[in-house]
Amino acid sequence: MQTLTIIQPDDMHLHLRDGDALQAVVPYSARQMGRAVIMPNLKPPVVSVADALAYKARILAALPAGSTFEPLMTLYLTDKTTPELVREAKAAGIVAFKLYPAGATTNSDSGVTDLFKLIPVLEEMAAQGVLLLVHGEVTDADIDIFDREAAFIERIMKPVLAKVPDLKVVFEHITTAEAARLVQEAGENVAASVTPQHLLLNRNDLLVGGVRPHHFCLPVLKRETHRQALVAAVTGDKAHKFFLGTDSAPHARSAKENACGCAGMFSAATAIELYAEVFEQAGALDKLEAFASKNGARFYGLPENTRTLTLIKQPQSVPESVAYGSDTLVPMRAGGEVAWSVQY
Q: What is the pLDDT of residues 140-189, one digit of tens each?
A: 889 999 999 999 999 999 999 999 999 999 999 999 999 999 999 999 99
pLDDT at 293: 98
Whether 247 is catalytic is yes
| Angstrom distances, CA of residue 48 to CA of 42, 73, 90, 94 | 12, 11, 12, 10
Those residues with Cβ within 8 angstroms of residue 37's Cβ, 6 or more apart along the chain or in another chain? 10, 11, 12, 13, 14, 72, 74, 95, 96, 133, 245, 300
pLDDT at 109: 66
Full-model pTM? 0.96
Which residue of the set 205, 247, 286, 327 is catalytic?
247
Percent of the residues in the chain that have a pLDDT greater than 70, as a whole number: 98
Q: What is the pLDDT of residues 199-237, one digit of tens each?
A: 999 999 999 999 999 999 999 999 999 999 999 999 999
Q: What is the pLDDT of residues 108-137, one digit of tens each?
A: 667 899 999 999 999 999 999 999 999 999
- Which parts are annotated binding residues? 13, 15-17, 41, 98, 135, 173, 218, 247, 251, 263
pLDDT at 260: 80
Q: How far is it, in rounded angstroms, from Cα 290 to Cα 167? A: 23
Is the Cα dihedral 159, 161, 164, 165 positive or negative?
negative
**Phi, psi angle pair for 58, to nearest 5°:** -70, -35
- Which parts are annotated binding residues for Zn(2+)? 13, 15, 98, 135, 173, 247
User: What residue spans define the domains of the chain?
Assistant: 3-343
- Which parts are annotated binding residues for substrate? 15-17, 41, 135, 218, 251, 263
2 CB neighbour count, 10 Å cutoff? 10
Give residue 76's identity as a one-letter amino acid code.
Answer: Y
Domain 3-343 annotated CATH 3.40.50.300 = no
